[in-house]
Each structure stands twice: as structure tokens, then as C-alpha cells.
Structure 1
């Protein structure tokens, strides 16, 4: 059985494949994905649909783990997300807080500066 930290490492690396089905499978059925500047998305199906829309204009992405720590069912991961989109490129410092449940992401809160993201994707 993988540690929660290893599950999150796998999840972070899975983003490079830009597969919404694969990414949603990391969540529990009642999971929550919350980009802190926005409203939370609840439920695996809704998370999949959100990710599909979110990455629709992404050409590639690579998320570099800077720091990752695990304390019980909580994993905190500081990252640099480098994303190439059809409208521009983004180098986005982020910090994700993951609450795990039975090896799945139950709640993911991602903290980043929305202006940095928007400046990168705005032509």
C-alpha cells in the first residue's frame, strides 16, 4: 500500500498526461477540489468535468515538486506548475493541501495567485 505522500507524488506527475479521467480517479467519490480563488468542486464526476474544461487549451504541463510533507492523512505539496497553453505560458508557484481518505484525495485545496495564472494565459 502506498503512503499518502506517494499517492500525491503520482497525482502530481499524472497531470503531465492531461487525462481528466485519470486525474479524477485519484479522488474519492465525494471528493472536493478547491482552487482557493474559486468555488469548490464537489464529487468525482464534477471534478472530472471541471478538469476537462480547465485543461481544454493546455498543450503541456509539468509540475515540479519543491517540498512535500505528510502528517497522517494530510499531505502538503509546494510546487512550480509550468504550463503551455494555446494562449500563453504560465510559471505558477502553488501550494496544495490534500486531505486523504483510504488512499484517495478527499479534499484538495490549492493556493496560488490567480493574477499570475491569468497574466500567463492572456494573449
Structure 2
């Protein structure tokens, strides 16, 4: 599968809120860096990150665009409440080795009535 197709499958897993399924898209030593947070390193830690996030808030990813350039895919997304962001995914051997995401953390926390760190 091409990176663009894998990201489409990743979105499907994300929208199910299934941390086990979504973790299978990552290599054992992958890095997921949502720039509003510290980088998360390793498939096990990434799985836990998603489990925690899915438990904290109901999240839905609506694809606006998915672009591909060689072993990279770029996801431009929105959600039903109006938040927007984008993610960059680097692939090796059909799995994500690096992901970086850009989104507004303050707006997300406020929209989901989550605590705002001091």
C-alpha cells in the first residue's frame, strides 16, 4: 500500500477510537510528535498515548486532503466542532516511523472541557 492509502486506513482506525488498531500502523521505534506536546517514542508508548486521548475526548478526523510525496503523506483534517490541523507521516517498509502533527491545543482543551495546564 502507498503512504496515502495507509493514512486513509489510519483515519478509519482513529475514528473508531481503537488504540490497538492504530498502533499497528507504527514501527516499534516510531516517533509521534504532536508539536503541542512532547514527542512520544515507541509503538507501545504511542498506543498508550492514543488510548489516553480516546478516553479523554471524543475525537473525529474528517479528511480534507491527503497528499503524498515519496515516502511521506500529509493529512489535512478538520473535526465536526471546527478544529483544524495537519499531520505529516514518514513511512519505511509500509509503517509509520515518524509523525508530526500541528493543531491548536488550547482550542482543543477548551472545546472538550479538559483542564488547561498552567
Give the TM-score normalised by structure 1.
0.86
8 A contact 1:65–1:80 mirrored in 2: yes
8 A contact 1:94–1:112 mirrored in 2: yes
Runs of 4+ in 1 over 2 A off after TM superposition: none
- 1:115 is aligned to 106
Tell me which protein shows more strand as a share of its residues: 1
1:116 is displaced (CA, Å) by: 1.2
- Map 1:82-101 to 2 at 5 A: 82=80, 90-101=81-92
Give me the whole-angstrom Cα distance separating, in 2, the residues matched to 1:98 and 1:16: 17
- 2:19 is aligned to 20
8 A contact 1:31–1:106 mirrored in 2: yes
1:119 is displaced (CA, Å) by: 1.3
1:120 is displaced (CA, Å) by: 0.3
RMSD of aligned C-alpha atoms? Answer: 1.4
Paired residue total: 114
1:54 is displaced (CA, Å) by: 1.3
8 A contact 1:13–1:62 mirrored in 2: no
Structure 2 unmatched ranges of 5 or more: none
- 2:53 is aligned to 54
Give me the whole-angstrom Cα distance separating, in 2, the residues matched to 1:66 and 1:111: 15
- 1:72 is aligned to 70
Structure 1 unmatched ranges of 5 or more: 83-89
